[in-house]
Chain A
Amino acid sequence: MKNDVRRRRTEKRWSQSELAERIDVTRLTIISIEKERFDPSLPVAFRLAAAFDCTIEELFEPDTN
């Protein structure tokens, strides 16, 4: 699944650790999500969307292939 996490995080000038702390996951989880190697669970997706003040649909985009 494609996502916009890295761009939004850098826009807010948060480090990966800071974002991880804000949404209560590990830094490795943030790294994996940003690299699009890990699709987060729905609760994490909601917490991410809340942290960036956007909707899940704005943050994540399903793979078309």
Chain B
Amino acid sequence: MTLRWLSVGAVGLATASATALLAWLVSPVAPGVAAVVFGFTALPFGAMLGWILFVAPVTADQTYTSGDSVESHWTTSASSGTATDLVTVLGLTLAVVSIARVDPPATLLLTGLLLAAFASFTARYAFARYRALSE
């Protein structure tokens, strides 16, 4: 188990180092500061990735990830619906942008798309859960 936790640290540090290096290479201003900030920011996410890869398989309750549970059924159903929703949102956004002849920044569009995906998944999962558990 100690080896697994050491692996978590290693993955965390590797992720942070890779992110810091990338920030140092591409940052137009203050690459050193950018490398430190991005490196520290990426560290917890790297550690989480390491936990998922090395610790969770032997400690987390596997029931919740197995295809047998109703939660898995709700997740699959919500994901499928979210994919459809995203295609609809993309189509409508494209239509609006084309007709209005506006050129919104890509960051704004991608953030909106991500938020739409989160909202759609959350709403669909919550609805499926409510429908299954209500009287």
Which B residue sits closest to A37, measured CB to CB?
B132
Contact of A44 among B68, B132, B133 (CB under 8 A): B68
A33 CB contacts on chain B under 8 angstroms? 70
Is the CB–CB distance between A25 and B131 below 8 Å?
A: no
Is the CB–CB distance between B68 and A37 below 8 Å?
A: no
The range of chain A's interface size is 10 to 19
- Counted as pairs of residues, one from A and one from B, with CB atoms less than 8 Å apart, the total is 40
Say whether A31 faces chain B, with CB atoms less than 8 Å apart: yes
Provide the bound-state CA to CA distance between A15 and B68, in Å: 20
Query: Which residues of A (17-37) have their CB < 8 Å from a CB of B?
Result: 24-26, 28-29, 31-33, 35, 37
Is the CB–CB distance between B69 and A35 below 8 Å?
A: no
B73 CB contacts on chain A under 8 angstroms? 38
Is the CB–CB distance between B132 and A26 below 8 Å?
A: no
* B72 CB to nearest chain A CB (Å): 9
Given contacts A25-B68, A32-B132, 17 further A-B pairs with CB under 8 A are: A26-B69, A26-B70, A26-B71, A28-B71, A28-B129, A28-B133, A29-B68, A29-B70, A29-B71, A31-B132, A32-B70, A32-B133, A35-B132, A37-B131, A41-B67, A41-B68, A43-B68
Pairs A-B, 4 closest by C-beta atoms: A37-B132, A29-B70, A32-B70, A32-B132
